[in-house]
């Protein structure tokens, strides 16, 4: 366990801020809070541009402040909150204000690179963070975790796989770890041939067999890129070497992560595929918060299967693992290019297999230019992210000529 995960008792009721309150993680967080009356006090909620749903969540949780990222949505938010006594704000500064408010724990669940600055604002303010935003660690992992360590801030992993690993570690030192596996369901294309995958449509890629997620992360799950991103996150969260991190395909999505120790013991984090389980663990840790999540019945399931990922049919995972091994800014470059390419695929501008192909080409381009040095701080990481996105979009525009 890294220093940032050391237990630090919190008072009850626990004061929470939710960044990304209108997304899938935010909705599940709301359900956990409502299912534990008296355990939590919601200080602030923040979202992107959906003022109506943000106001609904703010009212539901009796928050003090609601912030919407889109300045144009301020009028709608204020109107929706009229008479509630809940203060409204809009724009980037309002999101940072929400993140810095006096809270015991800030849920960082704003999707994409847009979530990095407000989540880091919580770190700067000394707030503990339950992290569900991949970009904070994939795009800016080293400066993000360095900032947390310098301020004595605890970063709790809210993604199901990392949370399972956190529980499976049981407080053991990273020095005792021989291997750490994150599991992947295999997505909708697990049993498809290479030819079928090449012809996959956005609708088919979005048909995940086990999880209900946003479109970008669902496509990443279909390509297994999502698992590569999670390996990069694991490196920063748990402080293990890249060579000790690996992936197992586990279609039942019951075992979410496994840890092998140097004495031969293996521990696993298991639960039904329901995000309320890791969310409740983070919100209550080091205590536990009861949820209405379906209970695991291994006898009913009957068997659990595991297989190695096929890097030929799923080259996106190989590209991500190469970025993990390369280190420096390569994960930042790879992540930014992937986000652009996934959007292009969802808009029917490129084929499914083109995602990994173009991401790899962009990574090679930046490597040849010597532009893959480790970003010194959050701003430098976001600058790299911005440049890569611009050049990725330019590449796509060139393909259409």
The mean predicted confidence, pLDDT, of the chain is: 93
| CA atoms of 73 and 47, how far apart (whole Å) | 11
- Sheet of 255-261, strands arranged across: 245-249, 177-184, 255-261, 266-270
> What pLDDT is stored for residue 398 in this prediction?
81
> Strand, helix or coil at 261?
strand
Buried b (16+ CB within 10 A) or exposed e, 175-212: eebeebbbbbbbbbbbebeeeebeebebeebbebebbe
> What pLDDT is stored for residue 217 in this prediction?
86
Mean pLDDT in residue range 263-289: 95
Asked whether residue 211 carries a pLDDT value surpassing 80, the answer given is no
Asked whether residue 234 carries a pLDDT value surpassing 80, the answer given is yes
Over the stretch 188-208, which tens digit does the pLDDT of each residue have?
999 999 999 999 999 999 988
Pick the more confident residue, 90 or 11.
90
- Residue in the block written with tokens 């919190």: 10
Please provide the DSSP assignment of 343-366 as one string: HHHHTTSS-HHHHHHHHHHHHHHH
| CA atoms of 66 and 94, how far apart (whole Å) | 9
> What pLDDT is stored for residue 400 in this prediction?
55
Buried b (16+ CB within 10 A) or exposed e, 87-113: bbbbbeebbbbbbbbebbbbbbbbbbb
> What pLDDT is stored for residue 36 in this prediction?
94
CB atoms within 10 A of CB 39: 18
Mean pLDDT in residue range 298-324: 96
> What pLDDT is stored for residue 1 in this prediction?
42
Over the stretch 163-184, which tens digit does the pLDDT of each residue have?
999 999 988 888 899 999 999 9
H or E element, residue 184: strand 177-184
Asked whether residue 278 carries a pLDDT value surpassing 80, the answer given is yes
Asked whether residue 216 carries a pLDDT value surpassing 50, the answer given is yes
**What's the pTM?**
0.90
Mean pLDDT in residue range 245-272: 96
Over the stretch 125-145, which tens digit does the pLDDT of each residue have?
999 999 999 899 999 999 999
Residue partners of 217: CB distance under 8 A and separation at least 6: 111, 226
> Domains plus CATH for the chain?
3-162 (3.40.50.720), 173-272+305-399 (1.10.1740.10)
Q: Is the peptide bond before 86 cis (omega within 30 degrees of 0)?
A: no
| CA atoms of 115 and 177, how far apart (whole Å) | 31
In this prediction, residue 383 has a pLDDT band, given cuts at 50, 70 and 90, of: very high
CB atoms within 10 A of CB 30: 20
Adjacent-strand bridge partners of 68: 47, 90
CB atoms within 10 A of CB 120: 25
| CA atoms of 206 and 216, how far apart (whole Å) | 9
Asked whether residue 367 carries a pLDDT value surpassing 50, the answer given is yes
């Amino acid at each position: 366990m890294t220093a940032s995960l050391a237990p630090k008792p919190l008072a009850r009721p626990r004061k929470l801020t939710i960044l990304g309150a209108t997304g899938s993680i935010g909705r599940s967080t709301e359900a956990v809070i409502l299912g534990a009356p008296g355990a939590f006090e919601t200080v602030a909620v923040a979202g992107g541009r959906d003022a109506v749903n943000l106001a609904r969540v703010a009212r539901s949780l009796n928050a003090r402040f609601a912030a919407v990222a889109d300045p144009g949505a301020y009028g709608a938010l204020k109107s929706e909150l009229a008479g509630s006594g809940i203060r409204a704000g809009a724009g980037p500064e309002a999101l940072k204000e929400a993140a810095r408010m006096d809270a015991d724990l800030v849920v960082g669940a704003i999707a994409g690179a847009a979530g990095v600055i407000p989540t880091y604002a919580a770190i700067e303010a000394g707030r503990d963070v339950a992290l569900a935003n991949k970009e904070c660690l994939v795009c800016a992992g080293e400066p993000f975790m360095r900032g947390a360590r310098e301020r004595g801030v605890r970063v709790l992993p809210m993604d199901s796989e990392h949370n399972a690993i956190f529980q499976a570690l049981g407080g053991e030192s990273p020095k005792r770890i021989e291997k750490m596996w994150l599991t992947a369901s295999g997505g909708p294309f697990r049993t498809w041939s290479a030819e079928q995958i090449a012809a996959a449509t956005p609708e088919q890629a979005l048909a995940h067999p086990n999880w209900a997620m946003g479109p970008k992360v669902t496509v990443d799950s279909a390509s297994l890129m999502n698992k590569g991103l999670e390996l990069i996150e694991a490196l920063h969260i748990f402080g293990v070497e890249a060579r000790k991190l690996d992936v197992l395909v586990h279609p039942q999505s019951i075992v979410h992560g496994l840890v092998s120790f140097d004495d031969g013991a293996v521990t696993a984090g298991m639960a039904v595929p329901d995000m309320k389980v890791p969310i409740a663990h983070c919100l209550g840790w080091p205590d536990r918060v009861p949820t209405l999540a379906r209970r695991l019945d291994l006898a009913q399931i009957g068997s659990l299967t595991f297989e190695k990922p096929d890097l030929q049919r799923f080259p996106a995972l190989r590209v991500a693992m190469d970025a993990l091994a390369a280190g420096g800014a390569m994960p930042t470059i790879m992540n930014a290019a992937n986000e652009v390419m996934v959007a292009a695929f969802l808009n029917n501008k490129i084929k499914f297999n083109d995602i990994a192909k173009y991401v790899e080409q962009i990574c090679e381009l930046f490597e040849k230019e010597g532009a893959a040095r480790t970003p010194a701080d959050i701003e430098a990481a976001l600058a790299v992210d911005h440049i890569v996105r611009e050049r990725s979009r330019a590449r796509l525009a060139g393909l259409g000529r």
